[in-house]
Amino acid sequence: MIVKEDFEIKNLTTYKIGGKVKTVFLPETQSEFTELLREHKDAIVLGSCSNILFSSNGYNGEVIVTTELKQFEIRGTHVFASCGVKGPMLAQKTAEAGLSGFEFMIGFPGSVGGDVCMNAGAHGQCISDGLTQCCLFDKETNEVVYKKKDELDFSYRHSLLKDGRYVLVHAEFELKKAPHEEIKSLIERNLEFRKNIQPSLATPNAGSVFKNPENDSAGRLLDKAGVKQFDLPNAKVWENHANFIVNKGNATSEDILTLMVMMYNAVKKQYTIELEPEIILFGDLTEKEEELWNILSR
């Protein structure tokens, strides 16, 4: 198992933001992972760090990162994937096997654990569509348990795992056979959409900043509220899509939170709608960060 002390977590986050973490564990097997969860009950569990903002103030605690848990298997139409398997890779491998259902993940930098936790989705597909059951670690009982799809409380950007009691170890799916050309066409269309509408990861970002309100689009509301003009010295709202913030190079977590509050207030003022953050905040927050986050998480 890889263990790192005083680790700069910004080296792992897609925002390229985050201070020093006291201890980071990178388990390589599911048994190592579950043993860590038993022994380090207060550790933060992270995957690809693609939809998170980690405080530039760091974290004087322990973090378990699942990126080395890469095991997956395809048997017929059944797919078994550990929590650390990257979504784009899984989309490619299932496409090669003539299986449809994961095409939407081709443009997501996330891993299976985070994708299941937040019920990630795009282009009319979501990860819960083909999910059959999950192997979970129960932090209350310290046991590994299995739960079927109908026990996982899936809804828009939500699952039972968001409540914190359960941590995904691996997930099982049943996908549908489809012609290779259909799958390839859908993957290419999704990649083209991402290229045109969303910033590439070469420009540090953490994906959509706010969740879509019911029957509306956060991007549309933000655009109409004029947030594309919001530009700080080290971070800005992306000019091609109003629901993305990009790190211009030396942004801090406070910079990102400041922009988020500006965006939130602009929509609230114009539409009396209070957007809910899709980005998750971690770390030892400064007083200013707590003040900003409290505005966003009322």
Query: Catalytic residues, which ones?
Result: 157, 208, 278
CA-based torsion, 172, 176, 179, 183: positive or negative: negative
The residue behind tokens 């045109």 is 196
Long-range CB contacts (within 8 A, 24+) of 269-277: 269/225, 270/221, 270/224, 270/225, 271/221, 271/225, 273/213, 273/216, 273/221, 274/298, 275/210, 275/211, 275/213, 275/218, 275/221, 275/222, 276/210, 276/211, 276/213, 277/209, 277/210, 277/211
Residues in the chain: 298
Nearest Cα residue to 63 out of 73, 71, 55, 74? 55
Q: How far apart are CA 82 and CA 210, in angstroms?
A: 28
